[in-house]
Amino acid sequence: MIKHLKVLVVDDDPAILEVLAAHLRSKGYAVESRSSARNALDTMRRLPFDLVISDVRMAGMNGFEFIKIVRANFPTIGIVIMTAFEDEFPLSEALRAGADGYISKPFSLSKFSLIFERAYWHALQREDWWELHKGDQEKPLP
């Protein structure tokens, strides 16, 4: 587990935001929650994140539109997309939009954790992530 991760959770369902934020904090991650894609983008302009978790179906901008913008502007970030409407929003579309992980609602927190960590490791495989974070590796070990 990687304790230093900064995670942004985006969902218009307050219960999902609360459960995921509590779960991720219990794992040692720094978590911000937003109820809309527009608010999430405003937050991302001010704060750095390692991973974004977004619902697909939200008022205003949907999750696929959101992650296309995120991928274009923050290419190193890991992205997990969630949906309760698998038939309407298939995995293939999520991957084309730029997601690193995909999970169907409802889900268990153990399954979510697996998808979450896999998406982060997928993001680490992008060469640009290592360039952006190479200063992190130069810190002396205690």
Report the candidate in 32, 34, 25, 33 with the shortest Cα–Cα distance to residue 3: 25
Given the DSSP bridges, would you call strands 51-55 and 30-34 parallel, antiparallel or unpaired? unpaired
The pTM score is 0.78
Q: How many residues does the chain have?
A: 142
CA distance 56 to 81: 7
pLDDT in tens, 34-61: 999 999 999 999 999 999 999 988 888 8
Neighbours of 108 (CB within 10 A): 9
pLDDT in tens, 69-124: 998 898 888 899 898 766 655 556 766 777 888 888 787 788 888 888 888 777 77
CATH of 6-130, one of 3.40.640.10, 3.40.50.11540, 3.40.50.2300, 1.10.150.20: 3.40.50.2300
Contact call for residues 54 and 98 (beta carbons, < 8 A): no
From residue 136, give the alpha-carbon distance in Å to each of 4, 102, 130, 139: 11, 28, 9, 6
